[in-house]
Amino acid sequence: MKQKIRIAFSDILQRFSPGSAYGKVALLAGGTLLGQGIYVLVTPILSRLYTPYDFGVLAVYTALLSILGAFSGFSYHLAIPLPEEDNSARDLFVLSLLLNGVLAVVIALVLAVIGTRLLTYFGWDPLIRYKWLLPVGVFATGTYTITTYFALRKEAYSALGTTKISQKCLGAVVSIVLGFFEGPVGLIWGQIAGMAGGIVSLFKASIKEPLVVTRKGLGKAALDYRTFPLYQPWGTLLNILSIQIMPLLLFSFFSREITGWFSMSLRVVQLPTVFLGQAIGQVFYQRASLSWRNGTLMDTTHNTVRVLLKVGIFPILWLGTISPVIFPFLFGPEWENAGMYSLFLSPFILLQFLSSPVSTVLLVVNKQRYLLIFQGIMLILGVASLYLGYLAGGIYYPIIIYSIGKMMVYFAYLLIILRFAGVGVSRFLPMFLREIFVAAALLVPVSLSFLFSWGALMPILACLMSGLGYLIYLFLALLSKIGI
């Protein structure tokens, strides 16, 4: 038995070696984990330095930044991992950076001419004081995103993990220090620092030689990958609008406090998505590009989805279940409604977590038009659900209806992605239902302890027991996979 355990741990270490797929994910996820740890630790501080109103303004700024950022590099950076020759990848990298700079200048000019009138018209007038931070944010975050794709091609996973830590540290410090000033300016500067920090170190890690490019090379890259700016920015824009339409409309037609609660709920319930989903998705895109050329895309996608199911379902549902109880304790009594929002949103966030990391399958197999269709549906659904919630009234119905609609569409989207990867429903559905059943069984003690109010200690013990049970389940699954 001791020999088997020794072999098991040796196999685990080999699986997580720096050059393996698990090792690459671990490097990215490890940096993200530490960064998110800082993020979690400072959130109770920020929730007391800033009001729900301030977080509502931040949500609108982040939404506008994301929408404008859809055109960063005109999406040419998404093609960086694809060319077989490094020269072509360098051309795409430089082309993306140049176009990102042009975008920031155009945004600044538009804001100078009609920025105040636009923000006032849509009811986002509290952002007028901070409108010049929009082009700054677009340029900084776009540059980081483009450099990330080049670093992925160069497999600079250690540097990527390190920047995740530096980003959160810098963002936290900026937000806390500026939190003693009135208004949301500290949150906005912290957001910029938290999304764009580490650009210099990432440049140094991924660029080992001078970026020598020519006009001819840039022109050829632009022509060869012209489908990316033709389809992808609009698909990305629709995708971002489908996600960010909620805070924008909540801010305009409901209240700034509701927008703040919604924003805080997403900050918490999306932690597994930020921690693991992005890391797995980045590594998957690089591996999927190779697998498509090698004819093994089906196996790569199936294995990735299996990992997403095991590491995502329980943590997201667990966070959603305990949020109504822990939010007032951690963030203050004024955030109680945000905890309820997290409970309502967790099923939708779960399906988003499963589909988003593998959605790049549609890029790899050159089916960008399906991304466009899906994202258009998501946008229409977001507006329609908010309108139905407005008719229903109250502060909960808009969020519940929004979550149910998103959940159904994301499930259909996931099935379409798997179909193009060659993974049939008969292979996916049993895995999905098994992991849902396991998560539901582990959450029974937590739900009962909250439902029957068995004192202050029992919910804590139930949460700890459920988490321990999940870790044991993961460990047994790993042992089973390696044959013990």
Q: pLDDT tens digit string along 148-172?
A: 888 877 777 777 777 777 777 888 8
Contact 289, 410 (CB under 8 A): no
120: amino acid identity, one letter = T
Q: What is the pLDDT of residue 247?
A: 87
**Residue with the larger pLDDT of the pair 4 and 31:** 31
Report the range of poorest mean pLDDT among 172-176, 271-275, 336-340, 409-413: 271-275
Residue 12 scores a pLDDT above 50? no
Q: Give the confidence band of 10 by pLDDT, cuts at 50, 70, 90.
A: low
Q: How many CB atoms lie within 10 A of CB 87?
A: 14
CA pair distance 118, 120, nearest whole angstrom: 5
What is the greatest pairwise CA distance in the chain?
A: 74
Residues recorded for the chain:
484
Angle made by CA atoms 125, 126, 128, in degrees to the nearest 5 = 65
The CA distance from 395 to 401, in Å, is 11
Instruction: Please report where in the chains the tokens 């590009």 appear, as a residue.
Output: 289
Name the percent of the chain lying above pLDDT 70: 87
Predicted pLDDT at 3: 53
pLDDT tens column, 236-266:
787 788 778 888 888 887 778 888 898 888 8
What pLDDT band is residue 191 in, cutting at 50, 70 and 90?
confident
Residues near 29 by Cβ (< 8 Å), separated by ≥ 6? 161, 275, 276, 279, 280
What span, in angstroms and rounded, lies between the C-alpha atoms of 64 and 100? 16
CA 260-266-268 angle, to 5 degrees, is: 110
- Write out the two tokens for 51: 């009001």
CA 409, 76, 30, 164: dihedral to nearest 10 degrees?
Answer: -110
Residue ranges per domain, the chain? 31-225, 249-484
pLDDT tens digits for range 365-386: 777 777 777 777 878 877 888 7
Which tens digits make up the pLDDT trace of 281-330? Answer: 767 877 887 788 777 888 888 888 888 888 888 888 888 888 888 888 88
Q: Per residue in 430-452, pLDDT tens?
A: 889 988 998 888 888 877 777 76
Tokens of 22: 């698990």
- Distance CA(359)–CA(367), nearest Å, equals 11
Contact indicator for 149, 18 with CB cutoff of 8 Å: no
pLDDT of residue 238: 77
Please state, in angstroms and rounded to a whole number, the distance separating the CA atoms of residues 460 and 329. 13
| Banded model confidence at residue 355, pLDDT cuts 50, 70, 90 | confident
CA gap 311, 314 in Å, rounded: 7
More confident residue, 87 or 58: 58
- In this prediction, residue 267 carries a pLDDT of 81
311/156 Cα distance (integer angstroms): 24
Q: Which residue has the higher pLDDT, 105 or 481?
A: 105
Identify the pLDDT of residue 136. Answer: 92
